[in-house]
Every structure is written in C-alpha cells, then in structure tokens.
Structure 1
Amino acid sequence: MSPVQADTGSSKSTSTSRIEVTDLAGRQVSVPLHVNRLLLGEGRMIYALSILEGHDPFARVAGWQGDFRGLDVQGYAAYHARFPEADQVPLVGGTSAETFSVEQALNVNPDLAIMALTGGHGPGPHSEAVKQLEAAGVPVIFVDFSQHPLRNTVPSIQLLGKAIGRTSEAAAFIDFYQQSLDQVREPLAKAREAGQLNTPSLFIDMLAGLQDCCGSPGEGNFGELIELAGGHNIGADKIPGAIGTLNPEFILSSDPDVYVATGVFGEGRGGVTLGYSATQAQAESSLRAIASRPPIGELTAVRAGRVHAMWHIFYDSPEHLIAVQALAKWLHPELFSTLDPEQTRKTLYQRFMPIPPTGVFTVSLPTTAP
C-alpha cells in the first residue's frame, strides 16, 4: 500500500481507554489511551522518540530491534553515556527484518509497537510478524522518516505524538522543523522567481567505501532533500525507488557538479568518520581518502574540491532538516552564505534532544579552482 498522510488531526475515541489513529501505511489502528510499554521495530526510532519524550526517552521502551546497537555505534554510545540503562533494554532481533522475533517481542509485553514503513531493519506492513503481533493483541503503527521524509515526517511525528500522548511536544517540533526548512525554501523561491537560480547536479555516495560502488538515493530518501535544497539528484535518473545503486560508468558520464558521501562509523571502521565521537580532523582526512578512490577521484567535482560528507543516519531521522540546510549551502554557497546548519543542530539538541550535540555531522574539503 502506498504511504499516506496520517489522519492525526481528529482521532476519535473508540472507548474510554483507547483512541483510533491512521498510520503511515493507511491502516486504522486502535491504540491504548495511556501507553506504558513501547516496542521499537527499529532501534534508531529512539531519535524520533527522544524529540517527544524529553529528558527520559527510555522511560517507556520495553524492547527494541538491534540495529541501533549494531549499526549506529556512535549514536548508541552517545545515548549510553547519558542513559546506561540502554544496555538493559531487551533486544527482539538483530539488524535485519529477518531476525525479528515475535516470541521475544511478545515477551516484553508491549502496549504498542512502532514500525518503519520501509521495513528495512524490522518487520514491514505486510509481514507475518506484524500479523502475529496484532493477533496477539498488540497494536502496531507504521511511521516513515526514510522513504519519503519530506512528505511523511510531519504526519509521522503527529501520529507518534497522538499515540503516546505527546501532542504538544509534537507540535513544538513540527514548528521548528518547518521554520528550519523555510530557511531554505524561501531564498530559493525568491531566486527562482527572479530567474537567478541554477540547478547543480549532485551525487550522494551512500556509505561510501563501506560497500561496492555505489549506493545512491533515487526517487525519495536523500533525493527529496536534494530537490528541496535546489539541486538535481543524478540517482533519480536511474533509480525508481528510494535507495538503489549506480554503476561507475553512469556516475562518470553524469559527472555531477557536487559530490557528497555519507558516513556513520568511528575512526578505523572504514568510510567517512562522522557522528557523535568524530573530530573535524578525522572527518576531513577520511573524506579525502574516500573521495580519492577510483572511480570517484576522476569526477570534476572532486578535482575542483566540491567534496562534502554528512551523517548517514540523516536518511532515517527527523534530523534530516540539518542535511537540507547543509545541502543548500553546498549547492548554492553564495545564496546561503549566512545559513548555519551546525547552529541549527545545536538549537535542535538544546530544545528537543536529551543528549549533547557532540561530534561532527557535516564536513567539507577546501574548495579549489576548477
């Protein structure tokens, strides 16, 4: 089923103790009015949950999938430093949907399960696991921050806020989210209206150096962020879905104006070093190595120094608003000379997140003449 916006503005009471919502898979779901035990079908949903739960995001987490621990090691370490009880949250699976255990999920006795629409690291909308959870009396709702982030982030936050009783917190974040995106939308609209806007092409090399060349967003995911930021995603020319691969020959023939890699691990783990424990020097040196590998080093963008990188988890988090601002600066440096994505990130964390904004999440190499 195609993702649709959640009908969160007028949920109706089905009884004195339950409410009815429409999730991002278009499913009508009856959820408890007071949720005390949450099951996270992807561990990285802790980022979105943190925005709504304030200073204690683990207060209601009864169990979670293992992707946060296993694949986002810097993020997990940052949370663990502030919340050591993260180690005690029961795992209900590993880092893939196939490892999700319905038996372990039911053992944590959840009031509500939250799943990702894409079903990449946990069960998807049509999975047998979801059917079994619902048959056992566990309501399941689907959210989406990855497949179509610009379309679905606001309704997903609204849905979560209503389901867990955090509607005012959801409204506050949505206001901040829209204002942050408007800092990009409005200057671009004025420049476009004045006939002064070009559309540079861009290649996002997802998990660069950590997999065969080359992962890329297509029609969705980071691709939507590139379009909002005033660029053309070359991956959309070949990939019909949200994420896919591009062959080196196509990348070379497209010769994009700007090159962006994504990274997630710490120093020594390969790829671009970005995240909560990364330093500027580590980020720059690792990006330089990644951008010089064949065939990427042959691109005009790399030879000219139009080389950047950003945190890979932006692809699946409401924090992608920071990525939009960074992309806008990289694509249109003169138009966005005063825009400060790092300050936006600091403000986001000060207002909504329970951990400090440590580390490096975007990085650029010095620009040289083409």
Structure 2
Amino acid sequence: MRFFNFKKELLTFKNEPLSPLSILLLVILDIFLFIAILDGIRNEEKKSPSPYTYFPTSCSKHFTYPQTRYNDFINIRTYNETSQVCLDLNQKVSLITTDPEFIKNKNLYNKLERLKRENLRKTQRIQNSYNTRLFEKIANESDGVKIYQAKLEYETLVKELDDLNAKINALPAIASYNGYKEYESFITYHKSDFKQQYDDYKFWQPFYKFARLLTFVVPLFLIALLFYRRSSREIVHIISAHIMLLLFLPTIANVLYLIYHIIPKTLLANIVAFFVSIGLMAVFNYIVIALVVLAFGVAIYFIQKKVAAQRALKAKVNIKNIIAENKCSMCYVKVDYSKEHCPNCGFKLHRECPNCKEQTIRGLPFCSSCGTQIENV
C-alpha cells in the first residue's frame, strides 16, 4: 500500500473525484468516528491515571512537611488508582480525624473561620464606605455623623476579629491529638521514598498512557487495514482509509509528545538551569528566537518550493494547450509550426531530439519522430 495511492483513495471513487454531497457525508462520518476514537482512547488512558490522580494534592502536600493546621486534616480524596503510599497515609490521617475531641474542635474551628470570613467582608465594606463618606465630607456634601458611625462600626468589627483569632489560637494544637506522632513518623520515614515514587511515575506515566492508547488503536487499525486490502468494494476502501487516517492522528500526536517528553523537555530544563546559573537568560532567549525563526523559515521555503513545482507543472500543461492551438509558447501569438521561429518574438519553435537528431516542437515532452522523452523541455 503506497502512501500516494492511499491519499488518492481518500476522496476518489472509481478514479473520479467524490461529489460535494459525498464529501460532506464523509466529513460528518469522520467527525463521528474521530469523536468515538478519542472517547475510546480516553477510556483506556484512564487506566493509567495522571500523576495528580495517582498522587493527589491532598496527599502530596503532607510529604512536603508534616501539616499542623486544622483545615489541612481532612480525609485524603482517593481514587481507584491512587498510590499505596497515599492510601497508607490516609489511614494515619484518619487516626487524627476520627478522634472525637478533634471532630468537636474541627467543627468549632470551621465555625470560627466562617465568622472570620463574614467579619472580613463587613470590614472591607466599612472601609470602602468610610473612604466614600470621607470624600463626601471633603466635598462639603455631608457632615461628620456618618463618618463617626462608620468608625464605631469598624472598631467593633476589629475587636470582634481579634476575639475570633484569640479563640482559634486557643484551640488545642494538632500535635496534641492521638495519632499525630504516628502520622509524623510516617511522613518522616516515607518522605524521600514518596519523592522518588512521584518522580519515577511522573516520568513513566506518558509511556503507560501511550501503551493504553495502542491497546485501543492497534486492533482497530488492523481491522481497517484488513478491509482496505481485502475488500473489492471501493466504498469500503474509502471508509477504511479514513478510519486508518483518523487512528493515525492521535497516535502520531502522542509519539511526538513522547519524543518531547524524553529529549527536548529534559534538555530544555537543563539548558535553562545552566543559563540561569551563569546569569545569561537573555542569550537563551536569543537562541530560542533564532531557532523559531529558522524553523518557520525552513517551513516557508519548502511550502514555496512545492507551490513553485505545482506552478511549473501547470505551466507545462498550459504550454501543451497553447501549442495545440498553434500559438507560440513564449508570446502566445498564432504561428506556423512549419517555420523555425515565431515572427512576433523570434522564439525558436523547434529543438533537436537528443536521440534521433530530428527537429521536434519545443515545449512538448516527447519527440515527434522517435517518441523519445525529452528532458528539461
């Protein structure tokens, strides 16, 4: 199966271009298939969870340092694919969060925090109001009564906030609860191991994810390829070719990401660290700009080269039509091809065939005497 045949069969039926209606139906089918393929890939990739699912944030923050605040001690949100170390940590946290004394104080802590938030909202409103009324006072649009009332209300809220903070600070420290020492020992013992597990999983997870993608894509691709090669019906060829193309797109995208994950991402991080260490990040920025300009320049060059080749091919086709109408291929004026030159521009109408040495019309790809293909006409 050659690529160009494959490409041609995407939009042709019995060597004829598909009608606009058929193309529209194919586009609708492609959209449906692509959505179904992406959905199937996502379902498979869920079996290889992201690092933030495998090591939830509510778990990983504990391994930074042992937590000491009430609102940091909630049962860790776990999934079916959560790492064992986080599940074990959850058990240690549960020793604290299930303590009746902790539950009572945690509820009180939540209530005091809620009152603090309400107090801060009111304080902010008073501050805004105070500033507005002060402006009015300066503008002689109001007396000082409203400003004095706002001042009293503000001072009351400040005192209330101080009382709330004092009550929060008076709550027993987290370290005083049963189970905290066991929790702290678990964190200290597993801290370096957790970091190693996290870094390893973060590096290998894209490979696990790609393997899951292949388990979905490869069987479907092989089935489509079998129909493409074995079926004699051209409509089956077209649909199976589209399926293979749609399967190829997410696969190549993931391959490119893996290449970036393995080489440029790591390399880029090391390069940035090096330039930061020597204080020459500007040089790195110049290099990045130069590489981007080079990449776009190369892309534009090849695009223009392809466009030029297409124009040259179109020009050759036009020359054939011009000669068929007995016109000069240089100035397009009617000529007599039994003559040697165009009477309008002097263009030589014939050339010598390199094979038979006979004269043949210039601009045509084959010799009129021996039929030899003439290069570079």
Relative to the length of structure 1, the TM-score reads 0.20
More helix by share: 2
Q: Structure 2 length normalisation: TM-score? A: 0.19
More strand by share: 1
